[in-house]
Amino acid sequence: MSFMMMFLRSFNPSQAGWEFMWVILASGVFGLAIMIERFVFLTGRTSRRSEAFVKDVLARIQADDIPAALSLCTHKGKSALAQVVKAGLNAAGGGAEGIRNAVDEMTLRVIPQLEKRTGFLGTIGQVATLLGLMGTIYGLIIAFAAVGRPGIEPAEKASLLAQGIAAAMNTTYLGLLIAIPAIAIYTFFKSKTQRMIDEIDEYSLRLVNVLAERSYKPHKYHIAATQLKEGVGLHVTHNNIKIFTDNKLVKEINL
């Protein structure tokens, strides 16, 4: 009988340790589902050529063409970096504080989505290893019990001993077969997610600085002399100026 046939036979309820085999396999199926879901999600949120993308956005901002910069973000689809940049651009008229708040809010919304469920893979790797070890102990208990049991025929004793050792080895093998890829892919996803977060931190800071500098640029407006009378009043907010003469609004300026 080939190794694979003997291994698959260990899932049969007639074999010692079959319960551990099915539990370990279930954890492996759960881990595989998470791997596929995370791979699809992170691939869709990864921003390719991030440096070039941010340079293009900043060039549009410096040219005072916010709609074109927003269009670049739209073309990036569901990219995590593009979502953060777009949030900052949408708040470009809200002053430096408003821009920072918008970027921070979107960052706090995006990062948990990137890290979601990835930690389960590391846990599955550890659980699969421990379940395999538990199956090993169970198999060894059966083997030693067979050796020490009096009044058993040598042939039966050899059969029980073989079953115990087989259960111990099969559960260990399956546990490691699931744990090693789970931990390796967990490390890969963790590294990939951290790179994306680092990009968001770096480029969002550059975006905020440029947008904040733009919001502080001086703006010139002209008011006809015929509109000015003796009593002139100003009502100034962070992005709005209202000019009154004799308590009558004559000019409203949105910065």
pLDDT tens digit string along 108-126? 999 999 998 999 999 999 9
Amino acid symbol at 84: V
Supply the mean pLDDT for the chain: 83
120 Cβ contact list (under 8 Å, min separation 6): 30, 31, 34
Instruction: State the pLDDT at residue 146.
Output: 74
178 Cβ contact list (under 8 Å, min separation 6): 24, 25, 27, 28, 31, 124, 125, 128
H and E: helices and strands count for the chain? 8, 3
- Encode pLDDT of 182-213 as tens digits: 999 999 999 999 999 999 998 888 888 888 87
245 burial type by CB count under 10 A (0-12 exposed, 13-18 middle, 19+ buried): middle
Round the CA-based radius of gyration of the chain to a whole number and report it.
33
CA distance 153 to 169: 24
Q: Is the pLDDT of residue 91 over 90?
A: no
Q: Is the pLDDT of residue 225 over 60?
A: no
Least confident of 50-59, 92-101, 235-244: 235-244
Instruction: State the pLDDT at residue 161.
Output: 77
Q: Which residue would you say has higher pLDDT here, 54 or 149?
A: 54
Question: pLDDT band at residue 250, thresholds of 50, 70 and 90?
Answer: low
Token pair 């009558």 is at which residue? 248
CA distances from 153 to 119, 161, 166 (A): 50, 12, 20
